[in-house]
Amino acid sequence: MALSVENLVETRQVGEQERIFHYLHMLGGLVASGAMRVRGPLTPQLLQNAFDWLQKRHPILNSHIRYQGMAYRSVPPFVYPVPWFDTRGTARIPVRVVTDPDPEAWRGVLAEENKTPIPVDKRKLPRIRVVLVRTHEDAEIGYLVSTMDHCIADAQAGMMLNDELFRYLADPAAMEALPPVQLGLPPSLESGLPKKSDSGKKPYVPAVRFPKTEVPNPERASRSVSRQIGANVGEAIRAAVRAHRTTMHGAIGAAFLAATREKFGMDEMTILSTVELRRMMKPALPLTAFGCYIDILRTHHALKDDFWAMASDLSFKLISAIARDQESASVMKLATWDVYKHETIPTMTHRRRIDGIAITTAGESNFRGDYGAFHLEGVSESVSIDMFGPSLFIVTTEQGGGIDIHVGYAADALSKADVDDITDRAVAALVAAAEPVRPANASAGVK
């Protein structure tokens, strides 16, 4: 949905959901970082050219944050500065180069980037930065580490960014010839969502947390583990999802609910689900609209023996919340007295944890492995939740028929052994639930 020059938007107030993401980012929470292992002639100049082009193509990437005015309310925080997006005078997306003979140096760079917010100051920095990590100048393999303020991009935008980046690396001239997707800043989420008459009327639903566990050598850091499900098993899972008339999000949620029940003997849990809302806006935004168009909704679930009953329960409650009661189910808003009443002490006593499980199912990605001379050999994702967040932050993507599962956790709240155990139980439950429709010759395909 391109804007005309006449209604080009150079600056606008940051929307409510965007604002919460931004405030958390500035406190070190939900800082979104990722590292891509790339084989090919990746030079700093080519990379800078690519991000210069992306910055021109997507106005939100060419925006910085400025604060203008103060907002007042009767609940803490009583006063806070109002952030604005502004494209005027924004600096270039910075591309930093780290040359280190240690082939594992990228891990330290990723960890450092993930705990370092992008500042708001006179430099007018865009809300994204990039680091190229290589062992030497002509290294065949490099690691591309990027960090973003979540207020400018959701998972859909992130996948689009990566695809366009690699398409540019493969053929700069062809991509330079493409017109910008949009001339001015895109609208905020709430500016296009129709208001529901009964929204926000339901009682507050308190978070249910994992029990406190002993963590050997606790560390104030965000960590993650990953599992990959192969294409054969992935297709069997999708077939089972269709057969049971539910969603992949519901199936992933049911898998981790089943693992939670097995691991901790719990009979209830709340889940934070990320929902993408571009098509619910009026007018609907295309999937190519680059920005943050998500909400995070809380739903409460009983833990049962029946896997597909739990999957259907999650899907149904999530759809119902979106349709009828999104405002009360949403956690993406400034805290109310109900939040302070129910969550303050449990959050403090559970190492800053809120709900036990948060899930983002990013769906099928157009992002592929080969782009001309460049080959993507691996991806590591990290969202900082050690400052504040759920016990498990689960992100799934589907590519080439397979399913990639990334599970983030705070290293002072859960041990890696416990996270590995929960994740393995969840994957086993997911695969087992698809057994009746899995081809007999399909190998387990899980690693």
- Whether 246 is in a domain gets the answer yes
Res 364: pLDDT = 77
Q: Where among 189, 218, 233 does a domain terminate?
A: 189
CATH classification of the domain holding 146: 3.30.559.10
Pairing of strands 370-371, 294-302: unpaired
- Whether 195 is in a domain gets the answer no
CATH classification of the domain holding 280: 3.30.559.30
Residues 183 and 253 in one domain: no
Distance (Å, rounded) from C-alpha 311 to C-alpha 183?
Answer: 41
Q: What is the pLDDT of residues 300-355, one digit of tens each?
A: 999 999 999 999 999 999 999 998 888 889 999 999 999 999 999 999 999 999 99
- Whether 46 is in a domain gets the answer yes
Res 201: pLDDT = 62
Query: How many structural domains comprise the chain?
Result: 2
- Whether 194 is in a domain gets the answer no
Residues 315 and 290 in one domain: yes
H-helix segments, 265-306: none
Task: Give yes or no for a cis peptide into 77 (omega within 30° of 0).
Answer: yes
The residue range of the domain holding 297 is 204-437
Percent of the chain with pLDDT over 90: 83
Residues 209 and 319 in one domain: yes
Q: Average of pLDDT values for 417-424?
A: 98
pLDDT tier at 405, thresholds 50, 70, 90: very high
Residues 281 and 135 in one domain: no
Res 288: pLDDT = 84
Residues 128 and 225 in one domain: no
**Cα dist from 355 to 22, 135, 203, 341, whole Å:** 20, 40, 17, 15
- Whether 427 is in a domain gets the answer yes
**Cα dist from 112 to 26, 51, 107, 109, whole Å:** 15, 21, 9, 5
Residues 177 and 218 in one domain: no
Res 325: pLDDT = 83
* Residue 357 near residue 271, CB atoms below 8 Å: yes
- Whether 340 is in a domain gets the answer yes
Distance (Å, rounded) from C-alpha 99 to C-alpha 132?
Answer: 8
Residues 105 and 62 in one domain: yes
Helix (H, G, I), strand (E, B) or coil at 17: helix
- Whether 216 is in a domain gets the answer yes
pLDDT value at 440 more than 60: no
Residues 170 and 215 in one domain: no
Which two tokens mark 282? 């009026």
- Whether 371 is in a domain gets the answer yes
Residues 137 and 227 in one domain: no
Q: Where among 189, 221, 247 does a domain terminate?
A: 189
pLDDT tier at 443, thresholds 50, 70, 90: very low
Q: Where among 143, 165, 189 does a domain terminate?
A: 189
* Residue 36 near residue 43, CB atoms below 8 Å: no
Res 3: pLDDT = 41
Residues 222 and 168 in one domain: no
Residues 264 and 393 in one domain: yes
pLDDT value at 1 more than 70: no
Q: Average of pLDDT values for 431-439?
A: 76
- Of 244-253, 261-270, 427-436, the least confident: 427-436
H-helix segments, 97-182: 105-114, 155-170, 172-176
Residues 136 and 220 in one domain: no
H-helix segments, 68-154: 105-114
pLDDT value at 446 more than 70: no
H-helix segments, 202-301: 231-243, 248-264
Phi/psi at 80 (5° precision): -150, 150
